[in-house]
Each structure stands twice: as C-alpha cells, then as structure tokens.
Amino acid sequence: MQRIETQRRKAYILRLAIIQLLVTLMAMLLAYSSTQLAGVTSVLKGALVALLPHAFFVYRMGFLHTNVSQRSAMLLRAEAGKFGLTVALFTAVFVAVPPSNPAFFFSAYVAIVLTHWLAPLLMLRHRATN
C-alpha cells in the first residue's frame, strides 16, 4: 500500500515538473517574441527563483522516499527552508544580476507558483472502472 502511494506521489511530482517547464517555455517564447533575449533571461531568472525552492521543498519533505515519518515536523522545516531560499534567491537576483525586464521576471515567478493550484485541474485522473 505504501509503495502505491509513493508511486502516486512520484507521478504527481513528475507531472507538476513537466507542467512547470512547459509554462516556463511558453513564457520564454512569449518574451522572445516581444523583447528578444532580454525578456527570455528575465523569464528564466523568475522561473528559477520559483523552481529551486520548490525542488528543495520536495526533497526535504521526502515525497520521493517510501519511509516518511513525523510529517508535521518535516513540513515546518521544509516550508521554512523554502521560504528562506526564496528570500535568498530574490535578494541574489536583484543584487547580483537584476532582471532587464521586471514584468517578465515577476510574471514568470507568479505563473510557476500558480501551477501548484492549477495542476490538479490539468492532470488526468485515472479511475478504476468496474
């Protein structure tokens, strides 16, 4: 039973990652059509600021492992780490390599974050029929 649940989690995470990458690619194409390379780099920076903390959260929560205990303590640590990493990445991006087009940067960030809410609607449900 636990193995089936782990396989479902892995499939969900894989589908969500694919959806996020597709959203990033569509945003990059849109940015390229209007502002060429400057917009594409801004979209890429915004997507990375959203994707890296999400990947950290998935890793810390242990969604990909079968043996997971004390979910509430893991959730708190994973969420705190995700928040800290998000703040650090925003700071690093705006101090070290500021985006040339902040509108594309924030649009890509928000679009990637919102895919978590839209993912259940976009995924097919496999139901057993009798």
Structure confidence at residue 123 as a pLDDT band (50, 70, 90): low
Q: How far is CA 43 from CA 19, 66, 91, in A?
A: 16, 35, 16
pLDDT at position 130? 40
Q: pTM of the full predicted structure? A: 0.81
pLDDT at position 5? 73
Flag whether pLDDT at 122 surpasses 80. no
Q: For 35, what's the count of Cα atoms within 13 Å in the CB-facing half-sphere?
A: 16
pLDDT at position 129? 43
Flag whether pLDDT at 108 surpasses 60. yes
CA-closest candidate to residue 107, choices 33, 26, 36, 52:
26
- Residues 42-83 have pLDDT tens digits of 999 999 999 999 999 888 887 766 555 666 778 888 899 999
Q: Cα–Cα distance between 51 and 98 in angstroms, integer?
A: 18
pLDDT at position 25? 94
Mean of the per-residue pLDDT values of the chain = 83
pLDDT at position 127? 43
Neighbours of 74 (CB within 10 A): 15
